Structure 1
């Protein structure tokens, strides 16, 4: 081997060593390969982003052929006071403010809204260590108003709460993994789900304070909640205040069955009973039960207003509430405490007169 060749190999060895050392020093070298989310789309133009009349320093961009602009997630979220939590393991970020909570994951068109996935047509993209989301994220997930014109996107958020008051009978009380909700006016895909948070107020109709744990099946409540609702079935909405009518600390815990009246019977003494077949509201509730009506049985509509017992006919959609005292027959027989009849409030009022 001549001296020239030896010198060339030596230079090559040094170059390889320097390249290897640089690779170990690079932050990318310690990043797991399966966590990398490559973004290859070309940016055609920059987009100015304005939030509540304030131009953001961070710009968005519009890709060639895209339907909408991409906006900087952190800059937009921080502009409206949202808290962000970045997860390096899966390149996701949690955002929260008041009763709004969502999860955004790089490369996945599945945005979390009230524990449900909602696609927007475009996945979040990580560009130059910044996460970008489609402009529709601000309207569909954060409930803002988006106006996109040319190379500018204007986003506005109405900080003033526009509230709605809805009445109904409680059919479900849920608490799991920090998520709390109350369902009224129906069960399953029917009715309305009231999402509650740490600042939701619970009171009786006399003004006495209650806690979430004091809510129960069969209670008639009045909920003050946001006008904003999800498009899910049932719809969900952030709730500010829940007022319980006729609350009693000594009230017995009720079970419930949602379904259809299969049979209506009247015995020789004039006492009436209904057979309800459907779905139990809780694990302890029956899917089919015979409920005996008494003078103390309340018959109401889905808003909790008084309804006529004449509405209890075969085929009627009802929710029956009863205590745990039942016969061991099939189906079991129990006493009806309250029956919700699925009739329109106006019709129920006319029947009750």
Structure 2
């Protein structure tokens, strides 16, 4: 090989070596802009959570995608462990859940959950994974009304206390054929509405079973109902048991709510009151005179006895009475029960 050719080969070898060195070193160089080091992309892997109900760990787990604000839990497994009946509704293509008078329906991809005939959103829609429907963890507390907490990578669910008791006088009954309800302890936006379902037990104090149609305005009842209620006015809650506290059944009852316009004392010492206000049934007059008989019950909104001295002019009352009245204006009848709401000072 001549001297010129040797020189060309040496230069070519050096050029290739330098080029290869530049290429292999390039990836190790980090560009720094504005004093900030570029961060690696966040992991898209979901965090997994074990689920414990009443001290027992479920075989199925929950998960939380990086984009989700809260963990998702397997609906059927969790609901069944809490005693709910879970069924697939082919007509609505949704999952129906029921326990006592708690009912809700869940549809994949739809952030819309039923609570006592009203709807709420949770900010996260149900989604399907591995042939299972998952719902946000807040579904347990907001819709099923159970206690739930997230502790590290464990979700702990504690079944809530099932019921509480409340007494009051029936002021409204609603039965549209599909939904039935009883309002006690007030009218309009006051008091509480007890939603009656197929599993609600209705009975007399001695255990005699009653139908919804046996309930009448003016009955004093003790209701065993859920610990939760809607935020509506009046609040609504499922009723598990309604027990009539009156000693005997009563027939059709009319009611008028209003102000005592006059207290009338007869020569024999008996009292009557003239009430003017709002009828609580279609057959009730807006103004009525009610005689107070020996067996007329005088109570407050909770059904507790009050003194006759509270019946003064200006008192806010609800008078309950039989349809048997005079044809005078105002009509005159006999009071079965008078609820004294307030007394004007």
Question: What is the TM-score of this pair, normalised by structure 2?
Answer: 0.72
Change (3 A) 1:285 1:135: farther
User: Does residue 1:85 correspond to 2:87, yes or no?
Assistant: yes
Correspondence for 1:135: 137
User: Does residue 1:266 correspond to 2:249, yes or no?
Assistant: no
Could you report, residue by residue, the CA deviation over 1:71-117 in whole angstroms, capped at 9, with x for unpaired residues? 22222112233222323554422101222211223444332122222
CA contact (8 A) 1:51 1:79 kept: no
Give the secondary structure class of the aligned counterpart of 1:302: coil
Change (3 A) 1:180 1:268: closer
Report the Cα offset of residue 56 of structure 1: 3.7
Could you report, residue by residue, the CA deviation over 1:224-251 in whole angstroms, capped at 9, with x for unpaired residues? 34434444333334444333233434x3
Correspondence for 2:24: none
User: Does residue 1:303 correspond to 2:302, yes or no?
Assistant: yes
For structure 2, which runs of at least 5 residues remain unmatched after alignment? 1-42
Correspondence for 1:29: none
Correspondence for 2:63: 61
For structure 1, which runs of at least 5 residues remain unmatched after alignment? 1-41, 348-353
Report the Cα offset of residue 341 of structure 1: 1.4
Q: Give the Cα–Cα distance (whole angstroms) in 1 for the partners of residues 338 and 245 of structure 2.
A: 16
CA contact (8 A) 1:290 1:332 kept: yes
Could you report, residue by residue, the CA deviation over 1:27-79 in whole angstroms, capped at 9, with x for unpaired residues? xxxxxxxxxxxxxxx97523324141444444433244543222222221122
Give the secondary structure class of the aligned counterpart of 2:292: coil
Structure-to-structure mapping, 1:167-186, within 5 angstroms? 167-186=167-186
CA contact (8 A) 2:263 2:272 kept: yes
Matched residues, number = 297
Q: Give the Cα–Cα distance (whole angstroms) in 2 for the partners of residues 118 and 317 of structure 1.
A: 37
Correspondence for 1:75: 77
Correspondence for 1:165: 165
CA contact (8 A) 1:43 1:62 kept: no
Change (3 A) 1:93 1:332: farther
CA contact (8 A) 2:169 2:221 kept: yes
Correspondence for 1:190: 190
CA contact (8 A) 1:289 1:334 kept: no
Give the secondary structure class of the aligned counterpart of 1:170: strand
Of the two, which has the highest radius of gyration? 2
Question: What is the TM-score of this pair, normalised by structure 1?
Answer: 0.70
Report the Cα offset of residue 314 of structure 1: 5.3
Query: Considering only aligned residues, what root-mean-square deviation do their CA atoms show, in Å?
Result: 3.3
Q: Give the Cα–Cα distance (whole angstroms) in 2 for the partners of residues 93 and 76 of structure 1.
A: 13
